[in-house]
């Protein structure tokens, strides 16, 4: 990427239009490859270590997700007003929500859209739902999207590596949860569960691990 940038800086005004296009394509593909390798590293590291639990509320967590995603013009990301207190590793949960909200925007088939995140307690767990009003996902693809390198059509063909949802599934299952898709026609809902309290795989959480038992 540095070499391509230097060439562009040195001879940008002298390059034929076709060569300038080739150089721009080279830079774009290098950036995509860098992002792809970063996502592969995230996937390979997910669940290798037992993250430390933190005390935090869902309101602050979702506000952080909103700030990082920074929805583009035309898109609204709505969160609930109520707050649930959690004692669980924050970083992997935030990563899951970031991936799902970002994907809802990235794969939307219109320049405008609404994404809503809902949170509700279910026994010793919390259920999160990420709901969009996009094109939806056909039943035959609802299992495949969680496989490595499987990509759906995006608003920008250069977006996506097919790793993000595989990482979501791995992280959710690492913490004893389950993720699934609901989609019939337009719109899509990603639903997953997360422990309200997590001690770790070295012990059994007094709150947070239900019939799933220890996470693997």
Per-residue pLDDT tens over the stretch 104-124? 998 898 999 999 999 999 999
Q: How confident is the model at residue 93 (pLDDT cuts 50, 70, 90)?
A: very high
Q: Is the model's pTM score more than 0.85?
A: no
Q: Are 137 and 123 in contact (CB under 8 A)?
A: no
Starting at the edge strand found earlier in the chain, the sheet holding 188-195 runs 75-78, 113-122, 125-132, 188-195, 179-182
Q: Which pair of structure tokens corresponds to residue 132? A: 């969009």
pLDDT tens digits for range 20-49? 888 888 888 887 777 666 766 665 666 566
Nearest CA among 148, 127, 126, 72 for reference residue 104: 72
């Amino acid at each position: 990427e540095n070499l391509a940038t230097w060439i562009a800086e040195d001879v940008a005004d002298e390059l034929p239009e076709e060569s300038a296009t080739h150089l721009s394509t080279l830079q774009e593909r290098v950036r995509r490859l860098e992002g792809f390798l970063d996502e592969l590293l995230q996937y390979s590291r997910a669940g290798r270590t037992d993250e430390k639990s933190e005390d935090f509320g869902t309101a602050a967590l979702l506000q952080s997700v909103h700030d990082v995603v920074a929805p583009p013009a035309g898109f609204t990301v709505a969160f609930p007003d109520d707050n649930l207190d959690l004692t669980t590793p924050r970083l992997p949960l935030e990563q899951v929500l970031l991936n799902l909200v970002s994907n809802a925007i990235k794969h939307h088939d219109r320049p405008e859209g609404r994404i809503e995140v809902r949170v509700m307690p279910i026994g010793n767990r919390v259920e999160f739902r990420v709901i969009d009003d996009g094109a939806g996902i056909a039943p035959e693809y609802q299992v495949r999207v969680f496989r490595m390198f499987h990509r759906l059509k995006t608003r920008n063909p250069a977006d996506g590596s097919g790793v993000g949802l595989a990482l979501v599934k791995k992280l959710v299952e690492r913490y004893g949860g389950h993720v699934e898709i609901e989609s019939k026609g337009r719109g899509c809902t990603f639903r997953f569960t997360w422990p309200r309290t997590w001690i770790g795989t070295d012990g059994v959480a007094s709150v947070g691990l239900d019939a799933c038992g220890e996470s693997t």
